[in-house]
A = this chain, B = another copy of it.
Amino acid sequence: MSFAFDVKATVGRARAGTLNTPRGAVETPVFMPVGTLATVKALDPDELRAMHAQIILSNTYHLHLRPGDDLIRGLGGLHRFMGWHGPILTDSGGFQVFSLASLNAVTEDGVTFRSHIDGSERHFTPESVMGIETNLGADIIMQFDHVVPGQSDRAAAHDASERSIRWLERCRTEFARIKADSTENQALFPIVQGGTFADLRRDAAARIASAGDWHGIAIGGLSVGEAKPAMHEIMEVCDEALPRDKPRYLMGVGFPEDLIEGVARGVDLFDCVAPTRMGRNNAAFTSNGRLNLRNAVHRADDRPIEEGCGCACCRRFSRAYLRHLVRAEEMLGPRLLSLHNVHFLIGMMRRARAAILDGTFGTWSRDWLARYHSSPNQPEHS
């Protein structure tokens, strides 16, 4: 089986589809758990399968630095290395070199930066990133792009968007060169940049869409510090400018409410570290907002995190037990909270898909957001 995308139903901008990949079909909209360093933090592949994770993401920048993409290639590739045999998507490191690494310097050739681990100087180019991503062997690989902060001015956003489009061409050429010698079946996704400027986004989306018969197109540079209404507007602009027959992947988003807002604006794929990061910070997603399991209110509470939740945490353990684990700093605490949170987002996207297929997505999403936002559990974003 190769790559193909099929939209099964729509409600407004929202779409229910199927993305076929060489390692299996992905039903969209879908949340992709993030396995930054070849492990979804605190979870193992069996747990991911049990919660019906369909595709996971891993990080080019991180794996290049440690343990090294050459090593992973030598051990049979990322799927075998981490014991996950379903589809994998790797990002390009663009976001990380501009956010995590220090002293990054952009030229037309690429980006020079210092590793956040040992301070060593490194250089990423569109060509070198294609080399890393083909070494890792993910099913979907991202172009190397230039990401700017959400508050960037028009000139900076324009500059980064144009550079990303030029780098896309170099990625495509290098990827084709490598593919000529390879039996691996990988798909290269371009990334639409352009900051919070609708005209830049519209222009980039149209030019990228017409530049090739991509298997999917990503929207990058959102959820990087801009206001929510700006993010929502850009999602709508991209929905209108991008071809309807390709999957759209909104990079690095998000929290539960962001996923609903994204689906409502035509996005098909999402990824975010939020569920595992929140889990390590004692927080659990529920349909009535977020719980902090450290709070004394849970001390003797025999209920699960969420009544009716079928995850391996809620089926077995009480809030009281989770509070005990968290306070005692037992590893099982963040593990169970991460498990519940990832399960929560995966299940949310499955229900969104069902609501699109049966035509009820409009009311379902309105009700969902109203309940979530009105909850006394809902804290500030952290």
Q: Give residues in A with beta carbon < 8 Å to B.
A: 37-39, 41-46, 66-67, 71, 74-76, 81-83, 299-300, 302, 312, 316-318, 320-321, 323-325, 327-328, 330-332, 334-336
Contact = CB atoms under 8 A, between A and B. Distances in A.
A336 B43 CA distance: 11
A354 to B, nearest CB: 28
B42 A331 contact: yes
Contact of A321 (B81, B317, B321, B325): B81
Main secondary structure of the interface of A (DSSP, over half): loop
Contact of A324 (B37, B44, B335): B37
Given A71-B299, A320-B71, A331 B331 contact: yes
Contact of A39 (B37, B67, B332, B334): B332
A121 B162 CA distance: 68
B75 A300 contact: yes
A312 B46 contact: yes
Contacts of A39: 325, 330, 332
6 contacts: A39-B330, A44-B335, A67-B324, A75-B318, A81-B324, A83-B321
A220 to B, nearest CB: 25
B300 A331 contact: no
A320 B83 contact: no
